[in-house]
Amino acid sequence: METGLYLIPTTLGDFNTVEKVLPDYNVQVTHNIKIFIVEQVRTARRFLKRIKHPIEIDNMTFLELNKHTDYSKITNYLNPIENGESIGLLSEAGTPCIADPGAVIVKLAHEKSIKVFPLIGPNSIILSLMASGFNGQNFSFHGYLPVEKSQRVKSLQKLESFCSVNNQTQIFIETPYRNNAMLASIIKNCKKQTMLCVASNISLDNQYIKSLSISQWGKEKVDLDKKPTIFLLSTGD
C-alpha cells in the first residue's frame, strides 16, 4: 500500500451498515493503518472494532481534530507519513472533509507534498441530492442556517430566491433536535410552489426521503426529531 494520507469514510450513524455502504477495499486499507486523525476517539474506536481491525485498539494512535483542538499543534500530525507511515483521516459519520473539519489536514498534506487518497463511501449531502429529483448540475451546500428566528427567515428567503433566479438546488442542515422547528419554519416562510426534499436517516432501516411542494408539506405529518436530516430547496423545474 502506498504511503500517504487516506481519507476514510464511515457509516451514516449505524455501524451495522458497514457491509452495506462501504467497499471491502476500504476495510483492507484501514486494516493497514494504525495512526488515525479523528473527531471523537470513542466513535473511531467503535468503528475500528466493528470492522475487526487486526491491531489492538490500545496499540493505535489517535489524534483529535475538532472544535477543541489547538490548531497550532496539527502541523505535526502528518510527520509519521514523512517516515513511511500512512495515516487515516476518519470521519465521524460519512465522508471526510465534506461538512467536516478534516479539510485543514488535507490542505496541510498538499503543502507538504504528501499524497492524498480519498476512499469511496456514503455522503448524506450527495445521496440526498441524488434522491431528491432536483437539479444535480447546479447546487449549493450552506451548512447550518442561523438559529435566530428573523435571521433564519431571511436566509430561507435568500435561498429560495437563488432557486428561482439560478435554477440552483439549495442544500442545508440543522442540529437534529431542531429539525422539526426548521421544517415548520420552511413551510411557514417559503412560497407554496417551492419544492422541498427532506432526507432523513439516509441508508438506515428507517430512512425517510420525500420531495413535495411547500403546500403539500403543510399536510404531511413527519417527526424528524433527533434524526440526521438534509433539507433541499428547488423550484421543481
- The neighbour count for residue 103, using CB atoms within 10 Å, is 13
Using the predicted structure, report yes or no on whether residue 236 has a pLDDT greater than 70: no
Determine the structural domain holding residue 20 and report its residue range.
5-118
222-231 pLDDT tens trace: 999 999 999 9
pLDDT band at 169 (very low <50, low <70, confident <90, very high): very high
| 158 & 85 share domain | no
Answering whether pTM is above 0.85, one says yes
Is residue 201 located within the same domain as residue 101? Answer: no
Residues 187 and 216 in one domain: yes
pLDDT of residue 232: 99
pLDDT band at residue 70 under the 50/70/90 scheme: confident
Same domain, 128 and 112: no
Q: Assign residue 29 the CATH number of its domain.
A: 3.40.1010.10
CB 232 within 8 A of CB 128: yes
Same domain, 88 and 160: no
Q: How far apart are CA 32 and CA 214, in angstroms?
A: 49
What are the tens digits of pLDDT across the range 174-207? 999 999 999 999 999 999 999 999 999 999 999 9
Question: For helices 149-166 and 179-189, what crossing angle results, to 10°?
Answer: 60
Note the pLDDT of residue 15.
86
pLDDT for res 60? 97
Boundary of a domain, candidates 118, 146, 171: 118
Q: Using the 3D structure, point to which of 118, 139, 169 is the last residue of a domain.
A: 118
Tell me the per-residue pLDDT of 125-164, one tens digit each, with 9 for 90 and over.
Answer: 999 999 999 999 999 999 999 999 999 999 999 999 999 9
Of the three residues 83, 118, 153, the one that is the final residue of a domain is 118
Indicate if 142 and 218 belong to the same structural domain: yes
